[in-house]
Chain A
């Protein structure tokens, strides 16, 4: 049974965000092996793990919906430039509007209803009390540009990648919960340019192969992968723009508070070809789980310990874990006595 969205909790200041036992149970734990290996790990985005899982639908709506929409509005109010779309990406924005509205209506009919009469559309989002009528494809009939309009109603971050010259370009996006990257910085960059900072990227053919694969993704055949890092406190917005608010928090981890303060941050990334524009929709759905919630699952606790213990130094540094990595390993060791 899928959970109904609960009342608004916070991802800043007093950090009231929490996961219910059901949310813990459906957490997309990202480690299939005891050792973390750098790989493309892409698979078709088809349902797995049964009803209610994070992989059941194209877009996952869960108990944190209202909290995340509230947080997104706070970020955009303060920093409107966290949502950008170049003029040639308008059609891609409409592609996204259609893909989201059709999927949500099919997958969550209790919350969302799309009624179509030719290009005259009516969209009801009962969770946010939205009831708008507009003309599909006519940006003037929406209160906001299409990508921002629908992006403000979706959990997770979104970019729309324009495909040209066999490459992908980050020409539009709504990014309010990034794992330390900036849309304003990456805007207009090509695939290899925005992956420049990744360790080993230069010497590896992984990105070349990944790009060939991504540019060939077909309409109606979305793919997904998981990515991960760690975050101190349940902070969604770990962006370079707000680094002064969260960077120093990495020095506050102690053996006493590590379980509640350190969060495993998992991104369920989905890539989906947009039919009209040929753009690639890249959705980054973020899940935050504290270590003390993770260790309620003995298999995860053991696995995470082994992964963290064997993580290469370059990745520890790249993911920003250097300050508290040892404290995390020591904490997890208690759940993996044999190792």
Chain B
């Protein structure tokens, strides 16, 4: 009845933009599961000394169970994962992935769907499109990118979507005016944003100014954990002390020390890895805990958040 990790093999790698590579994954044995648009998988990479785990959106047709496709942008300040995918992984390699999980599903009762993608944030929408088309849904796609780095699939999208596609290449001087995109929409219009934090905050600000309710704005920001000051984590029950380096997340340090913590998104969104904090000063960086929870200082999301004090005591 229970399915855990899947073993997949890389059958193709394509450069789909200057800094983005697309990987085609097929199952080593058994079958892939169909998935829902907006799903991601956590890819586990064995980098010798360190195991990298990064979440990537599935961009293939959700009903195609013959292969999954993901696209990985080489991050300027890669903590190792995207660099590993770009430089170490070759066709024929095997990787472990989690089963698909969805934190960014379409709001199906919506009357209209407005998709706003920034750079590699196009990936979840690639999986939205076939399902939106099958349902005959009303939608449009706004795609912001810089063609010297990103802009994957833009020709294909332009051809496929015609008048429903809006293209903004900042290198060509084409800017997207969020006020224009969000203004004068009919009731029942929902907006979906996937891209850098700056794109999301712009859209959120414009929406707030226009009086569009939060419930009509959906977003996915898988911020990779940002570095910080090193600190120590202590497990209250066992007294075990685990050093957390500047470049690694608390979750990664716990896992490396053999402390299992349930997790899904590894990006401060899903809430699965929440840990109780006995003492220490938390630097909250997640989008899950409420402002009230954060102020209380009794819980931390170890996938992205850190400690301001030299030691954080956890009740795990």
Closest to A164 in B: B107
Residue B270, interface by CB 8 Å:
yes
Q: Is A275 within 8 A of B100, CB to CB?
A: yes
Residue among B2, B38, B272 facing the most chain A CB atoms (10 A cut-off): B2
Residue A162, interface by CB 8 Å:
yes
Binds A, one of B28-36, B164-172, B202-210, B242-250: B28-36
B41 → chain A closest CB, angstroms = 11
Q: Is A219 within 8 A of B100, CB to CB?
A: yes
Question: Which secondary structure dominates chain B's binding surface?
Answer: loop
Q: How many residues of A contact B (CB 8 A)?
A: 26
For A163, what are the chain B residues with a Cβ–Cβ distance below 8 Å?
Answer: 105
Question: With A275-B36, A276-B63 known to touch, is A220 a contact of B271 (CB < 8 Å)?
Answer: no
Residue A221, interface by CB 8 Å:
yes
Residue B109, interface by CB 8 Å:
yes
**Contacting B2 at CB < 8 Å: which of A164, A212, A220?**
A220
Q: How many residues of B contact A (CB 8 A)?
A: 26
Residue among B1, B99, B102, B271 facing the most chain A CB atoms (10 A cut-off): B1
Residue B264, interface by CB 8 Å:
yes
Bound CA–CA A314/B304 (angstroms): 43
Bound CA–CA A86/B62 (angstroms): 22
Residue B3, interface by CB 8 Å:
yes
Q: Is A164 within 8 A of B3, CB to CB?
A: no
Q: Is A88 within 8 A of B108, CB to CB?
A: yes
Q: Which chain A residues in 139-191 approach chain B with CB under 8 Å?
A: 162-165
For B88, what are the chain A residues with a Cβ–Cβ distance below 8 Å?
Answer: none
For A44, what are the chain B residues with a Cβ–Cβ distance below 8 Å?
Answer: 2
Closest to A45 in B: B1
Q: Which chain B residues in 35-91 approach chain A with CB under 8 Å?
A: 35-36, 38-39, 62-63
For A221, what are the chain B residues with a Cβ–Cβ distance below 8 Å?
Answer: 2-3, 99
Residue B200, interface by CB 8 Å:
no
Residue B101, interface by CB 8 Å:
yes
Residue A298, interface by CB 8 Å:
no
Bound CA–CA A88/B107 (angstroms): 10
Residue B215, interface by CB 8 Å:
yes
Bound CA–CA A277/B63 (angstroms): 10
A209-230 vs B, CB cutoff 8 Å, 1 = contact: the mask equals 0001000101111100000000
Q: Which chain A residues in 210-257 approach chain B with CB under 8 Å?
A: 212, 216, 218-222
Q: Is A277 within 8 A of B109, CB to CB?
A: no
**Contacting B101 at CB < 8 Å: which of A57, A162, A165, A219?**
A219
A77 → chain B closest CB, angstroms = 30
Question: With A58-B1, A162-B108 known to touch, is A212 a contact of B271 (CB < 8 Å)?
Answer: yes
Q: Is B264 within 8 A of A220, CB to CB?
A: no
Question: With A212-B271, A275-B33 known to touch, is A222 a contact of B63 (CB < 8 Å)?
Answer: no
For A47, what are the chain B residues with a Cβ–Cβ distance below 8 Å?
Answer: 1
For A277, what are the chain B residues with a Cβ–Cβ distance below 8 Å?
Answer: 36
Residue A110, interface by CB 8 Å:
no
A137 → chain B closest CB, angstroms = 8
For B271, what are the chain A residues with a Cβ–Cβ distance below 8 Å?
Answer: 212, 216
Q: Is B105 within 8 A of A220, CB to CB?
A: no
B103 → chain A closest CB, angstroms = 9
Q: Is A276 within 8 A of B215, CB to CB?
A: no
Closest to B33 in A: A275
Bound CA–CA A163/B39 (angstroms): 13
Residue A290, interface by CB 8 Å:
no
Bound CA–CA A165/B218 (angstroms): 8
Q: Is A219 within 8 A of B107, CB to CB?
A: no
Residue A46, interface by CB 8 Å:
yes
For A274, what are the chain B residues with a Cβ–Cβ distance below 8 Å?
Answer: 36
Closest to B262 in A: A216
For A58, what are the chain B residues with a Cβ–Cβ distance below 8 Å?
Answer: 1
Bound CA–CA A247/B249 (angstroms): 58
Residue A278, interface by CB 8 Å:
yes
Closest to B35 in A: A275
**Contacting A222 at CB < 8 Å: which of B1, B4, B108?**
B1
- Can you report 18 A-B residue pairs in the complex whose CB atoms are below 8 A from each other? A44-B2, A46-B2, A88-B109, A164-B107, A165-B215, A212-B271, A218-B101, A218-B264, A219-B33, A219-B100, A220-B2, A221-B99, A222-B1, A275-B33, A275-B36, A276-B35, A276-B36, A278-B38
A contact residues vs B (CB 8 Å cutoff): 44-47, 57-58, 86, 88, 91, 137, 162-165, 212, 216, 218-222, 274-278
Given pairs A45-B1, A278-B36, 8 additional interface contacts (CB within 8 A): A164-B109, A216-B270, A218-B101, A218-B264, A219-B99, A220-B4, A276-B63, A277-B36
